[in-house]
Amino acid sequence: MQSVELTAGTIEYREAGDPHGRPVVFTHGLLMNDHQWDLVLPLLPNTFRYLLPVLPLGGHRIPMKPDADLTMPGMVGVLSDFLSALDLRDATVVLSDWGGPLFLPELQTGERVSRLVICPAEAFDNFPPGFPGKMAVVAATMPGGITFALRQFRSRILRRTPMVLGLMAKKPIPDDIITSWTDPGLASADVRRDVLAYARGTKFDKRALIADTEQLREFTGPVLVLWAPETNVMRREHGRRLADLAPNGKLVEVHDAYVLIMLDQPERTAELIAEFLQTT
């Protein structure tokens, strides 16, 4: 792992592929980290530079500074600072689950980000998303709730239930990926503090979120929307709405998968992302 110092703290990131290739930045969801993409990464063409930052969403191994702004705008700022600190240009951003990358200022300015891949993610007024999002809010309001949630992730039986990850992944998630997601939060009270700063500090104003999402119409670069029609955690109609918003948007549905399409259908996800990278 490499790391970079940002205003909020130290962000770790992983690199793969060609260090001189066009950059592709993969983001991840709440209580997850870069290992969300472990099954897809080896299947992608090695002519691109793949960067996987570990954002402070609960699967991060280095806590942020105690005074860091980790609300939704602050978290978007962390990702923006990451792009700037590495001086990434002509980058493709790939988002999944956490919808924050939709609000990157770089999408409106045309700076640094030239293409976007949207896997099933929060959008419009769907923050926090569906039943899993509501359970995350409950966990954040209960004393010890984050630890309790992470321990449920660890149980092969419990994590298949709708209250944990059963609506997020259609197929069993490999144990090593679950371990990588849960180890940091179980080991560090400061990591759990960061998650609570995001979950408790963010005010999800539905009207503002819809307006912010609709700014996607200002992004003129190619946009690939990969959506899973078999789950409504990330609402089925939002895939089409996002693709229609973007002037150069395209929707492709990924079947036999829920929200985490990169874990349910890694070959198909890699195929579609590779085609997009190589043809746009």
The confidence band for 89, taking pLDDT boundaries of 50, 70 and 90, is: very high
Domain of residue 175 covers 2-279
The confidence band for 107, taking pLDDT boundaries of 50, 70 and 90, is: very high
- Looking at the structure of the chain, the number of domains it has is 1
Summarize pLDDT for 13-36 with one digit per residue, the tens: 999 999 999 999 999 999 999 999
Average confidence (pLDDT) over 171-200: 96
Q: What residues contact 231, with CB distance under 8 A and at least 6 apart?
A: 120, 167, 170, 258, 259
Structure tokens at 197: 């700063």
User: Which letter does DSSP use for residue 71 in this model?
Assistant: S
Do the Cβ atoms of 83 and 91 come closer than 8 Å? yes
Q: What are phi and psi of 223, to 5 degrees?
A: -130, 125
Summarize pLDDT for 108-133 with one digit per residue, the tens: 888 899 999 999 999 999 999 988 88
237: number of Cβ within 10 Å? 11
| CATH number for position 217 | 3.40.50.1820
Q: What is the pLDDT of residue 126?
A: 94
